[in-house]
C-alpha cells in the first residue's frame, strides 16, 4: 500500500472545501507518495470564493502535492504508461462530467480521467449539480458504465456533524475508501 500516486482535480462547481479535505488526507497518508493537483480556472475561482484558499495554499499543504496545468496535455498523467493509482474529481462540475462522458480530452482533467478509465484505475467523480437534467443523468450512466464510480457530493448526517469540517472529513473518508486507502474514522456508521 506504499508509494501510491493519485490525481485530484478541483473543478468549477461549489463544494471545493470537500476537495481540500481529500487533498489533505491524501497528503497525510503515509502510503501516498504523490498527489497531482489539477485546478480548472473556475475551480480555482470557486476555491478562492468558498474557502479563501489559493493554489499556493494548497501546494503548501505538503511537498507530496504538485500542481499540473489544465492545458498541459503532455503531462505525465496524460499517458497510460505513467504509474498512477487513481483519480478523484471533487467537486466534479456538470461540464467536466460531460467531457469525461464523451471522451473528449481537450484538457488535462478530461484526459487524465480518460486514462483512468482505459487503464481500469479507480476514477471517483463527486458530481455537484442540482437539479439534474436528462443530459446530466445520461452522462452519469455513461461514466458509470465505463468504469467510473459516481459519488455525488452528498454528505452524510448520521454521525451528527457539529461543524462543516465534520461533513468534509466524513465525506473524505468515503472517498479514500474508494481509492483503497481505508482509514479509521469514528464517524463511520456503527449500527
Q: What's the chain's average pLDDT?
A: 95
User: 3-class DSSP state for residue 149?
Assistant: strand
pTM, two decimal places: 0.95
* Distance from C-alpha of 113 to C-alpha of 107, rounded to nearest angstrom: 10
pLDDT of residue 72: 94
For each of the domains in the chain, give its residue range(s) and CATH number, in order of start: 4-178 (3.40.50.1950)
What are the start-end ranges of the H helices in the chain? 16-28, 41-51, 55-59, 94-102, 108-118, 134-145, 164-178
Reported as a single tens digit per residue, the pLDDT across 107-150 is 999 999 999 999 999 999 999 999 999 999 999 999 999 999 99
Q: Largest alpha-carbon pair distance within the chain?
A: 48
* Distance from C-alpha of 29 to C-alpha of 20, rounded to nearest angstrom: 14
pLDDT of residue 190: 80
* Cα dihedral: 50, 12, 38, 95 (round 10): 160
pLDDT of residue 1: 47
Q: Which residues of the chain have pLDDT under 70?
A: 1-2
Amino acid at each position: 500500500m506504499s508509494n501510491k500516486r493519485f490525481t485530484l482535480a478541483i473543478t468549477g462547481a461549489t463544494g471545493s472545501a470537500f476537495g481540500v479535505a481529500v487533498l489533505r488526507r491524501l497528503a497525510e497518508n503515509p502510503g501516498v507518495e504523490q498527489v497531482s493537483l489539477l485546478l480548472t480556472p473556475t475551480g480555482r475561482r470557486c476555491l478562492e470564493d468558498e474557502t479563501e484558499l489559493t493554489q499556493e495554499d494548497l501546494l503548501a499543504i505538503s511537498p507530496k502535492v504538485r500542481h499540473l496545468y489544465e492545458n498541459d496535455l503532455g503531462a505525465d498523467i496524460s499517458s497510460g504508461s505513467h504509474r498512477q493509482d487513481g483519480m478523484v474529481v471533487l467537486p466534479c462540475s456538470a461540464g467536466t462530467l460531460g467531457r469525461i462522458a464523451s471522451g473528449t480530452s481537450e484538457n488535462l482533467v478530461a484526459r487524465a480521467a480518460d486514462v483512468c478509465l482505459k487503464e481500469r484505475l479507480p476514477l471517483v467523480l463527486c458530481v455537484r449539480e442540482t437539479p439534474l437534467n436528462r443530459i446530466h443523468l445520461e452522462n452519469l450512466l455513461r461514466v458509470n458504465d465505463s468504469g467510473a464510480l459516481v459519488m455525488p457530493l452528498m454528505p452524510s448526517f448520521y454521525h451528527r456533524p457539529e461543524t462543516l469540517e465534520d461533513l468534509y472529513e466524513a465525506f473524505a473518508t468515503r472517498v479514500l475508501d474508494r481509492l483503497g486507502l481505508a482509514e479509521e474514522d469514528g464517524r463511520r456508521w456503527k449500527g
